[in-house]
């Protein structure tokens, strides 16, 4: 056979070997979730690729069979070329072996695999049209080889197929996917998705309005006080109690009450007729579970109670929705947790501010595994009631206590952290 024909045959073998290297890497690197999406859209190449990946041992068997046969044929062909040119010289055979190894590594292994890792989807879908008929053609050989593979795996007590269905994506991995998809998801939508994932770890205790800040109606009060409180109320639903807040009797829908007040005054007896039984929520309930419970029970307001049945605070459906989409623009004038930015870069906040809000709005790193409010965090830090003017630093954030009242830290100045 002429020398040029042998060289052309060698080039063809290297190209075919490169194809199998491309196929192997692209099949292993393709995005399985993207592949499922293409299958749902009816992409024929995606269906073929999915069928091939369903039996990885057969797929790798036909790829490696072709790859090794071609590489062995290329090495044999080089030996024939060297023998014909240099009359069976041992040195020439050694140099020929080195050269063909270098050529296989560069042109048939490393370069194709780097390309396939960069464009796995495009190459895998195209190569599936070739690998599918090849697998059917060489199935008896692949099956015979895999008998020895399965036997070896059995001896080693390995069962790769048994764990194939357990590799499911975790919540943290899903968050990472959302974060890395910044070019495809709007910033606001991305934030909403991440907040939605956090609903499983956030409880009603993190977002509830504490008992000390709840506006409620005392049914034992005189009618004039009740009417004045209803007329000046900024909430659509108010808890009602008798004597003390611990003796809560229900929730009143203020709009229904105001409609009745158009014809005259209203008394506590009238409120008793329209009051709705309280809906209690156990402390520690995840927000996602509570969102479903609100929907199932057709409730919008729940009273959080601890393990002893004591009333701790109040959670509304709006509070949970705000955790997903962000705060609404409309808040009552008595809304707590407001932030006042100062010219020196510091921020004045109320002690009742939730730590989660401070971390989110001021990009702080306050610990969330203990107290829920800034007041609670400061009291835990000092193990005492601090005086006004006291300075401290928590999680690297310098603070100054502006005002205390009784057993509560009312106002705190969060100073700008010094630049490193």
pLDDT at 177 over 80: no
Q: Does domain 204-325 have CATH number 3.10.580.10?
A: yes
Stated as kind and residue range, the H or E segment containing 405 is strand 397-405
**pLDDT value of position 161:** 60
Identify which of 400, 401, 397 has the alpha carbon closest to the alpha carbon of residue 418.
397
Three-class SS state of 411: strand
204-325 and 339-414 share one CATH topology? no
- Given this model, what pLDDT does residue 16 score? 93
345 or 114, higher pLDDT: 114
Per-residue confidence (pLDDT) for residue 89, from 0 to 100: 75
Greatest Cα-to-Cα distance within the chain, rounded to the nearest angstrom: 120
Average pLDDT over residues 41-70: 90
Q: What pLDDT digit, counting tens, does each position of 286-343 carry?
A: 998 999 999 999 999 999 998 888 888 899 998 888 888 877 655 554 444 467 888 8
Residue 348's beta-bridge partner residues? Answer: 340, 413
pLDDT > 80? residue 182: no
Q: Categorize the per-residue pLDDT at 163 as very low, low, confident or very high, splitting at 50, 70 and 90.
A: low
The per-residue pLDDT for 290 is 92
Is residue 238 within 8 Å of residue 254, measured between CB atoms?
yes
Confidence of residue 19 (pLDDT cuts 50, 70, 90): very high
Is residue 166 over pLDDT 50? no
* Domain parsing of the chain, residue ranges: 3-163, 204-325, 339-414
Residue 338's pLDDT is: 64
Q: What percent of the chain has pLDDT over 90?
A: 25
Query: What residues have CB less than 8 Å from 10, skipping those under 6 apart?
Result: 74, 77, 78, 81
Is residue 183's pLDDT more than 80?
no
The whole-angstrom distance between residue 93's C-alpha and the CA centroid of its chain comes to: 58
* For residue 22, pLDDT beyond 90: yes
pTM, full prediction: 0.62
Cα(331)–Cα(235) distance, rounded to whole angstroms? 9
Instruction: Give the mean model confidence (pLDDT) for residues 203-226.
Output: 85
Residue 259 has a CB neighbour count (10 Å cut-off) of 10
Q: How far apart are CA 359 and CA 336, in angstroms?
A: 16
Residue 254, C-beta contacts closer than 8 angstroms, at least 6 positions apart: 230, 233, 235, 236, 237, 238
- Mean pLDDT, rounded, for 349-374: 85
> What pLDDT score does 335 carry?
47
Instruction: Return the percentage of the chain with pLDDT > 70, whole number.
Output: 92
């070329």: which residue's tokens?
A: 81
The mean pLDDT value for 42-65 works out to 90
122 and 28 Cβ atoms separated by less than 8 Å: no
Mean pLDDT computed over every residue of the chain: 84
Cβ proximity of 63 and 131 under 8 Å: yes
- Classify domain 339-414 by CATH number: 3.30.465.10
Distance between first and last Cα of the chain: 75
- In angstroms, the CA 187 to CA 178 distance is 10
Confirm if 236 and 254 have CB atoms less than 8 A apart. Answer: yes
Where is average pLDDT lowest: 33-47, 81-95, 125-139, 323-337? Answer: 323-337
Between these two residues, 144 and 266, which has the higher pLDDT value? 144
* Least confident stretch, 49-53, 358-362, 395-399, 400-404: 358-362
Give the model's pLDDT for residue 333. Answer: 46
CA angle 53, 56, 60 (to 5 degrees): 115
- Phi first, then psi, for residue 247 (nearest 5°) are -95, 60
């Amino acid at each position: 056979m002429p020398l040029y024909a042998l060289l052309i045959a060698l080039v063809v073998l290297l190209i075919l070997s490169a194809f199998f290297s491309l196929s192997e890497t692209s099949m292993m690197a393709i995005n399985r979730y993207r592949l499922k999406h293409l299958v749902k859209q009816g992409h024929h190449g995606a269906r073929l690729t999915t069928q091939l990946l369903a039996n990885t041992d057969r797929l790798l068997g036909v790829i490696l069979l072709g790859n090794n046969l071609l590489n062995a044929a290329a090495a044999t062909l080089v030996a024939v070329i060297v023998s014909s040119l240099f009359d069976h010289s041992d040195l020439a055979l050694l140099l020929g072996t080195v050269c063909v190894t270098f050529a296989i590594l560069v042109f048939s292994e490393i370069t194709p695999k780097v390309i396939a890792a960069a464009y796995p989807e495009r190459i895998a879908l195209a190569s599936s049209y070739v690998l599918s008929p090849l697998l059917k053609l060489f199935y008896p050989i692949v099956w015979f080889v895999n008998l020895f593979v399965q036997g070896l795996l059995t001896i080693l007590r390995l069962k790769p197929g048994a764990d194939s269905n357990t590799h499911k994506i975790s919540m943290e991995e899903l968050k990472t996917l959302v974060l890395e998809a910044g070019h495809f998801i709007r910033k606001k939508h991305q934030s909403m998705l991440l907040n939605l994932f956090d609903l499983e770890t956030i409880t009603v205790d993190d977002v509830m309005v504490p008992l000390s800040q709840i506006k409620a109606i005392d049914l034992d009060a005189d009618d004039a006080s009740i009417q004045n409180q209803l007329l000046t109320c900024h909430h659509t639903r108010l808890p009602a109690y008798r004597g003390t807040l611990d003796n809560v009797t229900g929730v009143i829908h203020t709009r229904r009450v105001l409609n009745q007040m158009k014809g005259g005054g209203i008394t506590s007896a009238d409120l008793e007729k329209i009051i709705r039984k309280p809906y209690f929520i156990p402390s520690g309930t995840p927000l996602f579970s509570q969102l479903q419970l609100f929907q199932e029970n057709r409730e919008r307001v729940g009273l959080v109670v601890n393990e002893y049945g004591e009333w701790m605070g109040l959670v509304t459906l709006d509070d949970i929705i705000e955790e997903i989409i962000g705060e609404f623009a409309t808040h009552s004038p008595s809304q707590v947790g407001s932030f006042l930015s100062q010219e020196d870069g510091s921020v004045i906040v109320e002690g009742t501010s939730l730590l989660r809000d401070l971390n989110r709005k001021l990009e702080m790193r306050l610990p969330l595994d203990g107290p829920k409010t800034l007041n609670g965090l400061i009291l835990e830090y000092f193990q005492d009631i601090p005086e006004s003017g006291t300075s401290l630093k928590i999680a690297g954030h310098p603070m100054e206590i502006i005002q205390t009242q009784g057993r509560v830290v009312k106002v705190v100045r969060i100073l700008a952290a010094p630049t490193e």
